[in-house]
Structure 1
Amino acid sequence: MRVVIAGGHGKIAQLTHRELAGRGDTAVGLIRNPDHSAALRAAGAQPVVADLEHVGVDELAAHLEGADAVIFAAGAGPGSGAARKDTVDRAGAVLLADAARGAGVRRYLLLSSMGVEGEPPTGTDEVFAAYLRAKKAAEDDLTDRDLDWTILRPGRLTDDAPTGRITLARHAPSGAVTRTDVARVLVALLHHPHSAGAILELVGGNTPIADAVAAVDRH
């Protein structure tokens, strides 16, 4: 399987590259900064420089030719303002979907976030509220498309050692999950076509990843 990941230099993306490479899949990482190329190669991925805030849809589609799936794992990142939450977290996801359609790539995994349903609670930090709204807008755009999409909403992310045990459901209780476990769930979902059409929340739990993913049914 050939998989293109937008946001290729992020922690979860790099972990996903390693998981894909370990399975014998081909991972391609879209990055904004060419200085990140070496880190991607070290993770087993092929780097492609494509800034989602500036690249055109046709150019991006050309980078997706021959791919079996795309993953949107990009984000404006810490320290960015509300405006970039929209241009990266929402518009970047929309652009990748447009490019996937142009390249004939049907499988699309969107890395979103728990907490996007409903308006952010009163008192929520302005930038974090913009982040949640951008993620939900990206979800709404994707679910209206004729693509084989899956949306994954992890809880609070940690850099703890992976447990390999999770709770994966349409609605999960609040909680944390390791970035490595998120990457492993993304790869497992790619190889589980019945997850197409599902919106899933993810936190640490008691069920082995393989069993949790195998139990996913979009219906």
Structure 2
Amino acid sequence: MRTVIAGGNGKIAVRLERLLTARGDEAVGLIRRPEAADAVRAAHAEPVVCDLESATAEEVAGHLAGADAAVFAAGAGPGSGAARKDTMDRAGAELFAEACARAGVRRLLVVSALRVDEEPPPGTDPVFAAYLRAKGAADAAVRARTDLDWTILRPGRLTDEPGTGRVRLGPDVTRAEVPREDVAAVLAALLDEPRTAGLTLGLVSGETPVPAAVTATLPA
């Protein structure tokens, strides 16, 4: 399987690339800056420079040509302002989805966040509120598409703790922490299970092994 990952040098993306290449898959990491290439190569993936905030859908589709699946794991990142939450977390995700459709890559996984369908509560930091709204708008745009076999994964608060391989995964998940390593493991398992297409799944640490957790989400 060949998988193209937007945000290829991010903490979740690099972990996913390592998992995919270790099992013999091909992984391509789209990166905004050439200096990020070493992190992707270290995961034995192929770095490709592509700025989703300036590229066209056709340009991104060219990088997706020949892929079996795609993962949107990009984001404006810490330290960015509200404007970039919109141009990257929302518009970048929408552009990537459009590019997938143009390239004929139907399988798309999107890394989102918990509770982005709700309006941020009063007193929320304005930049974080912009992030939540951007993620919610991106998810809504992806879910409206009928030309993609999408799955949206919404992790809780991310940590860099070692993964446990045990999670709670489903449409109704209470906010809690989850290691990035376990998020990557769930993404890899979702890539292997096309019947999860059309699902929006919350993810936090739990007691169920990842394969069983993914199987439990499948429609009866």
Tell me the TM-score range normalised by the shorter chain.
Answer: over 0.9
- The number of equivalent residue pairs is 219
SS of 2:152 mapped into structure 1: strand
1:181 CA displacement: 0.2
1:218 CA displacement: 4.8
Give runs of aligned pairs for residues 16-165 of structure 1, distance below 5 A.
16-146=16-146, 147-165=148-166
Deviation by residue 1:38-81 (Cα, 9 ceiling, x = unmatched):
11111111000000001111111010000011100000000000
In the alignment, structure 2 segments of 5+ residues that lack a partner are none
In the alignment, structure 1 segments of 5+ residues that lack a partner are none
| Equivalent position amino acid for 1:56 in 2 | T
| Equivalent position amino acid for 1:67 in 2 | A
Tell me the distance in 2 between the aligned counterparts of 1:218 and 1:156.
Answer: 27
- What's the TM-score once normalised by structure 2's chain length? 0.98
1:214 CA displacement: 1.4
| Equivalent position amino acid for 1:153 in 2 | R
Q: Percent identity?
A: 60
Tell me the distance in 2 between the aligned counterparts of 1:174 and 1:11.
Answer: 20
Contact 1:196 1:218 in 2 (8 A): no
State the 4+ residue runs in structure 1 displaced beyond 4 angstroms: none
Deviation by residue 1:66-104 (Cα, 9 ceiling, x = unmatched):
001110000000000000000000000000011111100
Contact 1:197 1:218 in 2 (8 A): no
Deviation by residue 1:126-182 (Cα, 9 ceiling, x = unmatched):
000000000010000001102100000000000011111000010111210000000
Tell me the distance in 2 between the aligned counterparts of 1:174 and 1:51.
Answer: 32
| Equivalent position amino acid for 1:96 in 2 | F
Tell me the distance in 1 between the aligned counterparts of 2:192 and 2:199.
Answer: 14
The CA RMSD measured in Å over matched residues stands at: 0.8
Contact 1:8 1:29 in 2 (8 A): yes
- What's the TM-score once normalised by structure 1's chain length? 0.98
Q: In 2 relative to 1, CA 30–218 (structure 1 residues): closer, same or farther, beyond 3 Å?
A: farther
What is aligned with 1:177? Answer: 178
Tell me the distance in 1 between the aligned counterparts of 2:217 and 2:194.
Answer: 10
| Equivalent position amino acid for 1:137 in 2 | A
| Equivalent position amino acid for 1:121 in 2 | P
Asked whether 1:201 is paired with 2:202, we answer: yes
Contact 1:198 1:218 in 2 (8 A): no
Contact 1:163 1:181 in 2 (8 A): yes
1:123 CA displacement: 0.3
SS of 1:157 mapped into structure 2: strand
Tell me the distance in 2 between the aligned counterparts of 1:206 and 1:87.
Answer: 37
What is aligned with 1:9? Answer: 9
